[in-house]
Structure 1
């Protein structure tokens, strides 16, 4: 059959299964659109019901459509209708019929296409209903949906309010679309199952505040997750995710996000612009190389765990996360060679873990982290401070860096004094002022950039200006 069936993707797929010699397979683009909505199309218990739904008249319908040729362009049809209306107003009925004949032909051809394509559209809808019905039957007949799932669905169907569902550890492999009908659901726990996908129907759970799909076999999340605007807690840890959908940024109520133990190599580019209420972000044990610049927009963030990744650099803008209390960047091994000076702007930081990296020096302004209680710098080629000092804890390190800073300040003042004596007081002070401006500009430049090399500044740069 030559007729283009791309506008009826499910029908196109079923027809090919029905008779592969007569009907060509749908295009790859069509197949890709089918997969998320109809993941069980190839199931041997479902396909027979779909093929049996194909009427015997389908071949005749497609033959007629092929014979008719391409459907007229909608603009041409609209123009033809306008022309006919103009002619009917300007000529007598006999003359109008003759004048409008050409335009009437275009309209009739479009109407014939309509009359033959309508049954195809109806059939497409019917196949969709058959698929949903068969999947429900299949789920109920297998262990994939156990008695507890069936009971939950029946409870919801009876009109009873269901706010919390816990189906963890049930060996579920599929979720019935009917779950999306429980519109009053607030908490849904699907952890520790065998799910490979989450149906788009989940987007109908507008009141959902907590979703736990951890410890499954998910390879992706549907874009429709972004429609869960009231979601506060999302746990997708311990799956096979390689990316998070950009739409997750629309979950603006999100307070906690756990995407640890996956295969993520990046985070969504604009994630920080949307998740400005996020307080806890767990992304450890992934393959993340860089943080997106937008992460600095997560101004509510208090907890960030990114250990055991492949992080190459920390953006200097991390200093904007002034509410951050716990930061774990440990075990990025050979990839993380330094942290930017702006990390010392995190004045509410209580715990900092930089162990198992390649850090040689921490920022000179480290003494500013006055609330820091726990500090781990183990397994680094440390030079400043020495590992011996680092092993004595946050307070000792802070005091060491304070004294180091005081020494740097004293040396800078001495240098300025020497210059003043050499060139005269006036010239010396001009030189000092010029140095100050240069240091300030240098500090600002590094603050707005990225610390791919750790952003380590030389002693006496922007922090010198800050102290003065």
Structure 2
């Protein structure tokens, strides 16, 4: 009987010896690793659109930073960096002036660099679902901007310079902390739609 118990105990120890390391390695392998953006990756993520423009799609990559060298080389017309873990953007360079569409929704952005004004040809900017508590006044220098998505952030006010976006047709401000419609929007003559849904707008007496 003692021999049987000893053999059973030895079998348990042998099983634990081999199984536990395997489980640990499996758990480690299951963890998502942050991927660094490389030039090769960026090249593979390019696609030509129907209008002969180029789009760089780096969405769903788990990236936390954006090497500006990559955007300088491959960010030609449209850049999609949505659904990542980006907290901060690099200072924009004048070499990125050709970008028409910049999609940064569903990241962890806490602020925008003032140098965003370099994106002179930007027509659509998506900043939905981030952690923005404010936007720089330099955003008002994007004279060609037609669509601006700022929903699902923590905004309470907009800089008055937003009223200088003379080509703006749509601005999304839903799911923020606005208590009234920003006054600067009244200066936008081409504005067709404002989305202020799910804000704590105060009713006027």
Query: Same-fold call, TM > 0.5?
Result: yes
Change (3 A) 1:180 1:152: closer
- Counterpart residue number, 2:170: 280
Q: How does 1:169-180 map to 2 (within 5 A)?
A: 169-180=60-71
Answer yes or no: is the 8 Å Cα contact 2:56–2:75 preserved in 1: no
- Counterpart residue number, 1:294: 184
Change (3 A) 1:291 1:270: farther
Matched residue of 2:148: which SS?
A: strand
Matched residue of 2:139: which SS?
A: helix
Cα separation, 2, equivalents of 1:152 and 1:175: 11
Change (3 A) 1:154 1:284: closer
Change (3 A) 1:163 1:220: same
Answer yes or no: is the 8 Å Cα contact 2:175–2:196 preserved in 1: yes
State the Cα distance separating 1:285 from its structure 2 match: 0.3
State the Cα distance separating 1:268 from its structure 2 match: 1.0
Cα separation, 2, equivalents of 1:265 and 1:192: 24
Cα separation, 1, equivalents of 2:186 and 2:199: 19
State the Cα distance separating 1:227 from its structure 2 match: 1.5
Q: How does 1:64-463 map to 2 (within 5 A)?
A: 143-145=34-36, 150-152=40-42, 163-182=54-73, 185-201=76-92, 204-272=95-163, 274-311=164-201, 335-337=202-204, 453=205
Change (3 A) 1:188 1:228: same
More strand by share: 2
Cα separation, 1, equivalents of 2:74 and 2:37: 21
Cα separation, 2, equivalents of 1:236 and 1:264: 12
Q: Deviations over 1:7-56 (max 9, x none)?
A: xxxxxxxxxxxxxxxxxxxxxxxxxxxxxxxxxxxxxxxxxxxxxxxxxx
State the Cα distance separating 1:163 from its structure 2 match: 2.6
Cα separation, 2, equivalents of 1:234 and 1:252: 12
Q: Deviations over 1:198-236 (max 9, x none)?
A: 111355310000000000000011111112111000000
> Structure 1: where are the runs of 5+ without partners?
1-141, 312-334, 338-452, 454-468
Matched residue of 1:234: which SS?
A: strand
Cα separation, 1, equivalents of 2:113 and 2:174: 22
More helix by share: 1
Matched residue of 1:262: which SS?
A: coil
Answer yes or no: is the 8 Å Cα contact 1:246–1:271 preserved in 2: yes
Cα separation, 1, equivalents of 2:180 and 2:160: 11
State the Cα distance separating 1:182 from its structure 2 match: 2.3
Task: Tell me the TM-score normalized by structure 1.
Answer: 0.34
Larger radius of gyration: 1
State the Cα distance separating 1:189 from its structure 2 match: 0.3
Q: Deviations over 1:336-378 (max 9, x none)?
A: 24xxxxxxxxxxxxxxxxxxxxxxxxxxxxxxxxxxxxxxxxx
RMSD (Å) for aligned C-alpha atoms: 2.5
Answer 1 or 2: higher relative contact order, Cα 8 Å, separation at least 6: 2
Equivalences, count:
168
Answer yes or no: is the 8 Å Cα contact 1:175–1:199 preserved in 2: yes
Answer yes or no: is the 8 Å Cα contact 1:267–1:291 preserved in 2: no
Task: Tell me the TM-score normalized by structure 2.
Answer: 0.74
Matched residue of 2:160: which SS?
A: coil
Answer yes or no: is the 8 Å Cα contact 1:256–1:278 preserved in 2: yes
> Structure 2: where are the runs of 5+ without partners?
1-32, 47-51
Answer yes or no: is the 8 Å Cα contact 2:122–2:142 preserved in 1: yes
